């Protein structure tokens, strides 16, 4: 099982949209995929219309018995582990367990899935550290702006601090608006850096509409530019993994 | 994780609207696509696939799927386009490994044409999330020129994390009285309900449950009727020439009828019985040549394996001439079986069985069947033992022939009256008898084959290259067969002395003396 954490310390950068659409793209390739919603806001679960079971909570999650709480989405090969409101305090519990705890918990699913995609909460806490350590690949969306580039630099430092392998970190430009000069300048300036994947995920109404359709874009509009962008992004991530 | 999945069968008259209303209690029903699947069910005449828990379906003209009753495919692929293909036509197709051994020498015959309509549904919760998928399958069958709706099944597919909904619907359908577990076998039975053919309605092994309170003539009437029915059932297959077993089974039923009638002839006025025996014999004579040729044609591969490749050409030509001879004989046979004379005799025969047999057999025929059957079996056993006295390493082949005939007659008697005696003891007796019969049978086959080949060999006109090839091949074959026959012959003495031991005789007498075990008609012990 390969694990991919979709992570950003900033909110509103298209992280959940990426996790939802990447997991769908992955499942379309015939890979058995589990999307883990680690963000207590539960947006990934919302997009897939999956609510947690009433008896699910942080404690059960930490016990590692995830199988009973995984739910099937409406799409073949794609399951979802919903989040729970109590996940907002996961840090406190992880503090006692150490940074390898999540890795151990997810290892129990290794035989069930080809890919584990983690939708991470937007902060830089012990939970983030745990998620980064647990993942084989960390993908971070970057809105092409100065502040986001700074945040990316911070993230790289954070990797060094927690002794995570920098090579597993990949960034991609998200919510790109070609008509904005600053966006295009930032992309021109930083896009060639090794850390960046080449796919640009544009700012598109179709992605925003996911809040209404509650489906991945490729499920409602498979031929749309948004669907194509996530598909390309998935292929790039997949290639970076198999070329390791 | 194993998928949650189950199915329920429903009858043709089920109100589906009402059923869907019930289901809508659990969630909102949204109909998805509707698919139509047209296919044909095929099996051998004696249900070899069904017996082994398999069904075969053909889509289009040549796409075959062999499935387990559960519906999961054993294998699939393209195969022959023939209406009723034989196993050998599947060799070198993807189905060969799984299908050919099941078919043996029997053809795969279409039993019904099906149109299956599959309606797919989603059950949604308040968030419009799918919580369960299900499919309604409705079958219409076309057989013997008529169409009928034959019920179908509802298949449930649970979703991980939403198991409760699956179990709720499962319970709801159970409460509605639907039968859970709808395999392809059940669907096939539904489809064939009310049709002429039913799964497992024919078995080439003879099996009848007699009532021991019947008289011997009543029991004989039942057996004759069953045999006459077997003959009639096999005729369409003989005429269509689907496979060689139709004629074989037809002739076995005929021989059994003759054998049974002969065993009763002392109870009847000579002329009445003789007429019927002569009529049956005539059918045997008319159908003999095709069967004899079939036997050789079935041996083609085995013969080829006996000879070096250099002699294969001659063998091929020999078989080509046999096939041509069979074609000729076959025309005569089909004409005979469809002739007014055949029809007339069969109606006389049925009239004899139904109306005259019991009265003609007089007081002898009134004996209770079990007692009379035991007497017949004992007598026949004595005859075998008498014939067996002449058996030695050097005795003439004629003695072996006599013994073989006596054994065959005993075998028929045991099979006719099997249900009147304890099952286990009967099986043990038949097993003992079978050993010596197999030995004698092989010996006889080898000697008949040699005789036929030698005859053919003698009548070959010398001169042509083709006949020279044939002569060389036949010469090779005859030598092989002679060697084999010598080997078999050496074993016969030993097999017979084993059969004739006091212990074995006791096996028979104990069985015949055992207390009556009563079995209800239509049941097997």
CATH number at residue B444: 1.40.20.10
> DSSP assignment of B414-480, as one string?
HHHTGGGS-HHHHHHHHHHHHHHHHHHHHHHHHHHHHHHHHHHHHTPPTT-HHHHHHHHHHHHHHHH
Residue B34 dihedral angles phi and psi, to the nearest 5°: -120, 125
Q: What is the pLDDT of residues B374-416, one digit of tens each?
A: 999 999 999 999 988 888 777 888 889 999 999 999 999 999 9
pLDDT at B360: 80
Nearest by CB to residue A50, choosing from B1, B122, B129, is B129
A-B Cβ pairs (cutoff 8 Å, strict): 28
Q: Do A79 and B160 touch (CB under 8 A)?
A: yes
- Which SS3 state, helix, strand or coil, does residue A164 take? coil
- Can you give the residue range of the structural domain that contains B298? 209-367
- Where in chain A are the domains? 2-242
Q: Are residues B239 and B180 in the same domain?
A: no
For A213, nearest residue in chain B (alpha carbons) = B128
Residues of B in contact with A53 (CB under 8 A): 161
Task: Return the CATH architecture of domain A2-242.
Answer: 3-Layer(aba) Sandwich (3.40)
Inter-residue contact A15 to A8 (CB < 8 Å):
yes
Q: Indicate if the alpha-carbon torsion angle B104, B106, B111, B116 is positive or negative.
A: positive
ipTM: 0.88
Distance from CA of B161 to the nearest CA of A (A): 4
- Nearest-angstrom CA–CA distance, B494 and B179: 56
The answer to whether position B199 is within a domain reads no
Among chain A residues, the shortest Cα distance to B122 is held by A74
Q: How far is residue B152 from each of residues B198, B354, B355, measured CA to CA in Å? A: 17, 41, 45
Residue B198 lies in a domain: no
Q: Measured between CB atoms, does A49 come within 8 Å of chain B?
A: yes
**B318-353 core/surface letters (b: 16 or more CB in 10 A; e: else):** bbeebeebbeebbeebbeebeeeebeebbeebeebb
**Rounded to an integer, what distance in angstroms lies between the CA atom of residue B510 and that of residue B374?**
11
Instruction: For chain B, give the number of residues.
Output: 525
**Is B2 an interface residue toward A (CB < 8 Å)?**
no
- Closest CB to B161 among A53, A112, A214: A53
Q: Give the per-residue pLDDT at A96.
A: 66
State whether residue B127 sits within 8 Å of chain A by CB.
Answer: yes
> Which of A49, A51, A72 is the closest to B128 by Cβ?
A49
Chain B: residue whose CA lies nearest to A76: B159
pLDDT the model gives residue B327: 96
CB within 8 Å of chain B, chain A residues 107-136: 112
Residue A173: strand pairing partners = A142, A200
**For residue B525, what pLDDT is reported?**
40
Residues 6+ apart with CB under 8 A from B372: B215, B216
User: What pLDDT does A126 receive?
Assistant: 87
Instruction: Answer whether residue B202 is part of any domain.
Output: no
Residue A68 to chain B, least CA–CA distance (Å): 7
Residue B315 to residue A96: CA distance in whole angstroms:
86
Q: Which of B122, B124, B129, B157 to mutate to test the interface with A (most CBs of A within 10 A)?
A: B129
Cα–Cα distance measured from residue B153 to residue B162, given in angstroms and rounded to the nearest whole number: 22
Q: Which of B165, B192, B219 represents a domain boundary (last residue)?
A: B192
Any CB–CB contact under 8 A between B186 and chain A?
no
Task: Note the pLDDT of residue B141.
Answer: 87
Number of domains in chain B: 3
Distance from C-alpha of A90 to C-alpha of A128, rounded to nearest angstrom: 10
List of chain B residues whose C-beta atoms are within 8 Å of the C-beta of residue A69: 161
Biggest distance spanned by C-alpha atoms of chain A: 50
Residues B119 and B131 in one domain: yes
Residues B253, B231 contacting (CB under 8 angstroms): yes
- B279-311 per-residue burial string, b: 16 or more CB within 10 A, e: under 16: bbeebbebbebbbbbbebeeeeeebbebbeeeb
Domain for residue B238, yes or no?
A: yes
Chain B nearest-CA distance from A159, in A, is 35
Q: What's the DSSP call for residue B215?
A: B
- Are B1 and A112 inside 8 Å of each other by CB? yes
Say yes or no: B346 and B243 in one domain: yes
Residue ranges for chain A with pLDDT beneath 70: 95-98, 244
Partnered with residue B9 across adjacent β-strands are B153, B179
Instruction: Quickly tell me which residue has 């986001």 as its tokens.
Output: A148
Taking the C-alpha atoms of residue A118 and residue A130, their distance in angstroms, rounded to an integer, is 12
For residues A216 and A20, the answer to whether their CB atoms sit within 8 Å is yes
Please list, in sequence order, all residues whose beta carbon lies within 8 angstroms of the beta carbon of residue B77, skipping any fewer than 6 positions away. Answer: B63, B64, B93, B94, B95
- Among B367, B386, B402, give the residue marking a domain's end: B367
How many residues does the structure list for chain A? 244
Chain B contact for A203 (CB, 8 A cutoff): no
Residue A70 contacts B, CB cutoff 8 Å: yes
Tokens of B141: 């069958």
Quick one: what percent of chain B has pLDDT higher than 90?
Answer: 67
Please state the pTM of the whole predicted model: 0.78
Local structure of A123: helix, strand or coil: coil
Q: Is B21 on the interface with A (CB under 8 A)?
A: no
> Is residue B352 located within the same domain as residue B381?
no
User: Within this chain, do residues B346 and B386 fall inside the same structural domain, yes or no?
Assistant: no
Query: Mind listing the pLDDT tens digit for each residue in B195-246?
Result: 888 899 998 889 899 998 999 999 999 999 999 999 999 999 999 999 999 9
Cα–Cα distance measured from residue A71 to residue B280, given in angstroms and rounded to the nearest whole number: 72
> A14 to chain B nearest CA, in Å?
23
CB atoms within 10 A of CB A188: 10
| Inside any domain, residue B524 | no
| Coil vs helix vs strand at A12 | coil
Residue A183: per-residue pLDDT: 95
What is the least distance, in Å, from the CA of B136 to any CA of chain A? 19
pLDDT tens string for chain B (525 positions)? Answer: 567 999 999 988 889 999 999 999 999 999 999 999 999 999 999 999 999 999 999 999 999 999 999 888 999 999 999 999 999 999 899 999 999 999 999 999 999 899 999 999 999 999 999 999 999 999 998 866 777 888 899 999 999 999 999 999 999 999 999 989 888 898 899 888 878 888 999 988 898 999 989 999 999 999 999 999 999 999 999 999 999 999 999 999 999 999 999 988 888 887 878 999 999 999 999 999 999 999 999 988 888 898 888 888 888 999 999 999 999 999 999 999 999 999 999 999 999 999 888 888 888 888 999 999 999 999 999 999 998 888 877 788 888 999 999 999 999 999 999 999 999 999 999 999 999 999 999 999 898 889 888 988 888 888 788 888 888 888 889 999 999 998 998 888 888 988 999 999 999 999 999 887 665 555 544
Whether A37 has its CB under 8 Å from any CB of chain B: the answer is no
């Amino acid at each position: 099982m390969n694990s991919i954490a979709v992570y950003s310390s900033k909110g509103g950068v298209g992280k959940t949209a990426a996790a939802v659409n990447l997991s769908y793209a992955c499942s379309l390739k015939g890979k058995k995929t589990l999307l883990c919603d680690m963000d207590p806001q539960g947006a990934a679960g919302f997009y897939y219309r999956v609510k947690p079971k009433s008896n699910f909570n942080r404690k059960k999650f930490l016990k590692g018995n995830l199988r009973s709480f995984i739910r099937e989405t409406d799409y073949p090969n794609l399951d979802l582990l919903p989040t729970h409101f109590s996940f907002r305090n996961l840090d406190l519990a992880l503090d006692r367990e150490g940074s390898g705890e999540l890795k151990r918990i997810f290892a129990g699913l290794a035989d069930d899935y080809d890919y584990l995609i983690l939708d991470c909460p937007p902060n830089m806490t012990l939970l983030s550290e745990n998620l980064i350590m647990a993942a084989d690949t960390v993908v971070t969306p970057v809105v092409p702006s100065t502040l986001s580039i700074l945040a990316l630099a911070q993230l790289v430092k954070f990797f060094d601090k927690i002794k995570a392998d920098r090579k597993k970190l990949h960034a991609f430009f998200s919510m790109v608006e070609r008509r904005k000069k600053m966006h295009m300048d930032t992309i021109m300036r930083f896009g060639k850096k090794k850390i960046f994947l080449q796919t640009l995920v544009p700012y598109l109404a179709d992605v925003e509409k996911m809040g209404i359709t509650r489906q991945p874009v490729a499920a409602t509009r498979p031929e749309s530019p948004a669907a194509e962008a996530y598909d390309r992004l998935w292929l790039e991530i997949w290639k970076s993994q198999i070329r390791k | 994780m194993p998928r949650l999945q189950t199915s329920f069968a429903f009858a043709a008259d089920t109100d589906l609207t009402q059923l869907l209303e019930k289901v809508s209690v659990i969630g909102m029903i949204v109909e998805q696509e509707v698919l139509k699947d047209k296919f044909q069910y095929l099996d051998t005449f004696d249900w070899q696939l069904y017996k082994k828990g398999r069904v075969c379906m053909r889509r289009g003209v040549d796409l075959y799927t062999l499935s387990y009753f559960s519906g999961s495919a054993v294998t699939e692929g393209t195969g022959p386009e023939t209406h009723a293909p034989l196993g050998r036509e599947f060799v070198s197709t993807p189905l060969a490994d799984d299908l050919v051994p099941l078919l043996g020498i029997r053809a795969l015959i279409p039993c019904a044409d099906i149109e299956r309509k599959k309606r797919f549904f989603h059950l949604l919760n308040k968030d419009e999330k799918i919580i369960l998928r299900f499919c309604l399958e409705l079958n219409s069958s076309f057989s013997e020129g008529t169409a009928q709706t034959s019920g179908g099944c509802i298949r449930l597919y649970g979703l991980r994390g939403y198991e409760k909904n699956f179990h709720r619907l499962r319970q709801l359908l159970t409460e509605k009285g639907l039968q859970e577990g709808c395999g392809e076998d059940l669907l096939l039975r539904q489809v064939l309900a009310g049709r002429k053919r039913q799964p497992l309605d024919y078995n080439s092994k003879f099996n009848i449950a007699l009532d021991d309170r019947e008289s011997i003539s009543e029991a004989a009437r039942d057996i004759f009727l069953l045999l006459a029915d077997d003959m009639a059932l096999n005729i369409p297959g003989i005429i269509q020439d689907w496979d060689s077993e139709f004629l074989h089974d037809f002739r076995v039923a005929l021989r059994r009828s003759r054998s049974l009638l002969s065993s009763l002839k002392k109870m009847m006025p000579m002329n009445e019985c003789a007429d019927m025996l002569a009529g049956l014999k005539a059918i045997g004579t008319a159908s003999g040549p095709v069967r004899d040729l079939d036997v050789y044609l079935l041996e083609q591969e085995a013969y080829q394996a006996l000879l070096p490749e250099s002699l294969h050409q001659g063998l091929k030509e020999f078989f080509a001439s046999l096939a041509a001879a069979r074609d000729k004989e076959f025309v005569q046979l089909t004409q005979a079986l469809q002739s007014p004379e055949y029809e007339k005799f069969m109606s006389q025969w049925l009239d004899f069985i139904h109306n005259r047999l019991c009265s003609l057999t007089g007081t002898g025929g009134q004996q209770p069947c079990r007692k009379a059957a035991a007497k017949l079996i004992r007598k026949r056993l004595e005859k075998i033992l008498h014939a067996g006295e002449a058996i030695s390493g050097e005795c003439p082949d004629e003695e072996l022939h006599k013994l073989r005939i006596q054994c065959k007659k005993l075998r028929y008697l045991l099979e006719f009256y099997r249900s009147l005696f304890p099952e286990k003891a009967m099986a043990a007796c038949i097993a003992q008898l079978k050993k010596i019969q197999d030995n004698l049978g092989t010996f006889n086959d080898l000697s008949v084959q040699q005789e036929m080949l030698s005859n053919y060999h003698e009548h070959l006109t010398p001169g042509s290259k083709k006949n020279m090839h044939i002569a060389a091949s036949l010469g090779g074959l005859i030598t092989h067969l002679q060697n084999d026959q010598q080997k078999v012959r050496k074993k016969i003495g030993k097999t017979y002395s084993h059969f004739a031991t006091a212990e074995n005789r006791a096996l028979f007498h104990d069985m015949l003396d055992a207390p009556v075990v009563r079995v209800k008609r239509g049941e097997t012990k």
